[in-house]
Amino acid sequence: MQVLKFGGSSVANATNISRVIDIVSKAARMDRVALVCSAISGCTDSLLGLARTERGSAERQVMLDSLKSRHDDIIRRLFTGAEREQISAKVQGLFDKLAAAPEDEMVTYGELFSTTIIAEKLRCEGFRTKWLDSRILVIKNNSTLTYNNISTAVALEPEVEIFVAPGFICSEYEGKVTTLGRGGSDLSASIFAAALKANRLEIWTDVPGIMTANPKVVPAARTIPEISYQAALDMATHGAKVLYAPSVQPAMEAGIAIRILNTFEPENPGTVVSLLPEPEVAEWMGVTSTDDTLAGESLICLVSNGNINGEAACARTEDCLKKAGIKTLACSSDGTNVYVTVRLAVAREALNAIHREFFEVVPLSSLNLYIAGRGAVGTALVDLIRTSGERIAERTGKVLHIEEFSSDHGIAARVRKISPRGSIFVDVTDSEDIWREYEGLLREGINIVSSNRRALAVPFVEYAAMKAAAQENGVFLRYETTVGSALPMLESISAGANSSDELISIEAVVSCTLNRILSEYTLTPCTFAQIVRKAQNEGLTESDPRIDLSGREALRKLLILAREAGVPLEEE
């Protein structure tokens, strides 16, 4: 036996009921079905409204007519001919009873309408169907009697393939008709499952299972594939509307897993609620909220599935709210969940902030770096990446992964062959000809970062070709460190050149090395050779200091600056 329950939006109109019929038909081909349904959406609210109107008043008639016409519309679309007339008469009979019913029983009619129509439709589809009267079988707060009633009723009908029972409604021990409370159809389904020792309990609704938050409030919410009875109960108790909290108990006691599925996406596996072993490390399951409109506050509950460090969790919660500019009115933990109170007006924002903090950790992706050159710059760069890797990961979500090569020989060509698009080739060599590989790398979708001035002081056509290759392939060619040490200035210069401004002049100390050596030469009694050697030892010069001293380095910087400013100069 399997128990399937469909909520109000799943049976809201003829189109949706047809989906339900499809799902139930498929299930019935595998095993017998007990089908429990809610009233069509909005019906229970209307009935409660109806009960507050005056008997015989025009207002009551209008409400009755509109409820009747919604059901008539469904009947018109689902049935034809004699069958339509038969079911119409049946539903009319129920409406007549409703009009005469005591006010406190009116609310129980919604499920009678919906299940009468659905049972009839399944019969027309060729299934041996039996409608069960939950008002007689389900006795409020008496599970022994209830289970006995249900199992006996089913045992009497071995031929029946599909039992159809109204959810929500039941009777008091003394026989008075009543309900299991708003949203109580889930509980009816759980009771039927326990009574029939069902091997499957499916609750079909309009969202894909229990989600990490209410998707109508938190768009990033996602389905929780598996959750323990306890965590599901916590979520339901503290505001998750997808499951009526009391419905967990009967299924849990009978050891039946509750599957929450989406009528509008039947292939989606949804959520399985079952007995799960307590995890070694607790995980966050979801965030729910209940509003206290009178106090103007919202109580947010962050649910976990185990033992948490309450103090740390509260601190993290308050911190993320603070960052979002939201004031925490109160925060506490019971060792499993975190409870936060915020003003009602900011509840939506708070739920999103907490969800972002606890449920939207973007998985780290790795980024390959191919570094050519292990001189002073290369070594410093590798050190820097190693020490700041964590911070980089935190800020960008990317783990930098340095790919080592035993030598720089032919490295660019090898990278071109093996490297995935989007990785970064770093040229910290002083090679004269590695630039010839740049364009090919860029065309393969590999980004380039270079501190190699020679690679940029190439003939202008080559320089332009590299830039074009980068742009056309959506990758970058960056060489900010070739000029101005660590100061970012190339970007400002090219931005200036690309705007309507005219660049008149650039003033700069273009060679720190020359500046340093020449200053020391005038200020100290040391010999020129001593000063150069000292600068060399401090790592201030190129490996061959003559390149600095000849002014070649300074000239190349000027060339890079000029080109950046839009002047197509050549090194010569």
CA distances from 41 to 170, 261, 404 (A): 20, 18, 63
Q: In 96-116, which positions are buried (b, 16+ CB within 10 angstroms) versus exposed (e)?
A: eebbebeeebbbbbbbbbbbb
Number of residues that bind ligand ASP (CB under 6 A): 13
State the nearest-atom distance from the C-beta of 36 to ligand ASP, in Å.
9
State the nearest-atom distance from the C-beta of 124 to ligand ASP, in Å.
24
CA distances from 366 to 289, 394, 399, 403, 448 (A): 36, 12, 5, 12, 17
| Interface region with ligand ASP, contact rule CB under 6 A, candidates 143-151, 176-184, 288-296, 367-375 | 176-184
Give me the DSSP letters along 157-212: -TT-SEEEEESSEEE-TTS-EEES-TTTHHHHHHHHHHHTT-SEEEEEESSSSSBS
The residue within the footprint of ligand ASP, chosen from 183, 246, 270, 378 (CB under 6 A), is 183
| Cα–Cα distance, 438 to 409 (Å, whole number) | 15
Helix (H, G, I), strand (E, B) or coil at 281: coil
Residue 8 or 270 having the CB closest to Mg ion = 8
Residue 185 or 228 having the CB closest to ligand ASP = 185
| 110: partner contacted, choices ligand ASP, Mg ion, none (Cβ within 5-8 A by kind) | ligand ASP
What x/- string results for residues 130 through 169 when contact with ligand ASP is judged by CB under 6 A? -------------------------------------xx-
Residue 38 or 336 having the CB closest to ligand ASP = 38
Nearest to 287 by CA among 343, 229, 345, 349: 349
Residue 128 or 241 having the CB closest to ligand ASP = 241
| 429: partner contacted, choices ligand ASP, Mg ion, none (Cβ within 5-8 A by kind) | none
Residue 38 or 482 having the CB closest to Mg ion = 38
| Cα–Cα distance, 495 to 566 (Å, whole number) | 10
Residue 11 or 75 having the CB closest to ligand ASP = 11
State the nearest-atom distance from the C-beta of 112 to ligand ASP, in Å.
11
State the nearest-atom distance from the C-beta of 43 to ligand ASP, in Å.
7
| Interface region with ligand ASP, contact rule CB under 6 A, candidates 11-19, 183-191, 215-223, 361-369 | 183-191
State the nearest-atom distance from the C-beta of 8 to ligand ASP, in Å.
5
Give me the DSSP letters along 334-382: -SS-EEEEEEGGGHHHHHHHHHHHHH--PPPEEEEEEEE--SHHHHHHH
Residue 105 or 111 having the CB closest to Mg ion = 111
State the nearest-atom distance from the C-beta of 39 to ligand ASP, in Å.
4
Which 186-215 positions form the footprint of ligand ASP (CB under 6 A)?
A: 186
The residue within the footprint of ligand ASP, chosen from 2, 4, 6, 7 (CB under 6 A), is 7
Question: Is residue 262 within 8 Å of 223, Cβ to Cβ?
Answer: no
Which 19-48 positions form the footprint of ligand ASP (CB under 6 A)?
A: 38-39, 44
Which residue's beta carbon is nearest to the bound ligand ASP? 185
Helix (H, G, I), strand (E, B) or coil at 445: coil
Q: Which residues contact 286 (CB under 8 A, 6 or more apart)?
A: 210, 211, 212, 213, 224, 235, 240, 302, 303, 359
Residue 203 or 477 having the CB closest to ligand ASP = 203
Helix (H, G, I), strand (E, B) or coil at 543: coil
| 182: partner contacted, choices Mg ion, ligand ASP, none (Cβ within 5-8 A by kind) | ligand ASP
Residue 38 or 129 having the CB closest to Mg ion = 38
Q: Indicate whether 116 belongs to the interface with ligand ASP (CB under 6 A).
A: no
Query: To 5 degrees, how large is the angle CA 564–CA 567–CA 572?
Result: 100
Burial of 433 (0-12, 13-18, 19+ CB in 10 A): exposed
Tokens of 151: 């199992």
Question: Is residue 273 within 8 Å of 261, Cβ to Cβ?
Answer: no
The residue within the footprint of ligand ASP, chosen from 166, 184, 270, 378 (CB under 6 A), is 184
Residue 127 or 168 having the CB closest to ligand ASP = 168
Tokens of 83: 């069958």
Burial of 451 (0-12, 13-18, 19+ CB in 10 A): buried
Q: Indicate whether 246 belongs to the interface with ligand ASP (CB under 6 A).
A: no
Q: Indicate whether 182 belongs to the interface with ligand ASP (CB under 6 A).
A: yes
| 163: partner contacted, choices ligand ASP, Mg ion, none (Cβ within 5-8 A by kind) | none
Binding site for Mg ion (CB under 5 A): 7-8, 38
User: 490-498 and 552-564 are packed helices; what angle lies between their axes, rounded to 10 degrees?
Assistant: 40
- Residues paired with residue 5 on neighbouring β-strands, in sequence order: 36, 203
Residue numbers of the site for ligand ASP (CB under 6 A)? Answer: 7-8, 38-39, 44, 110, 167-168, 182-186
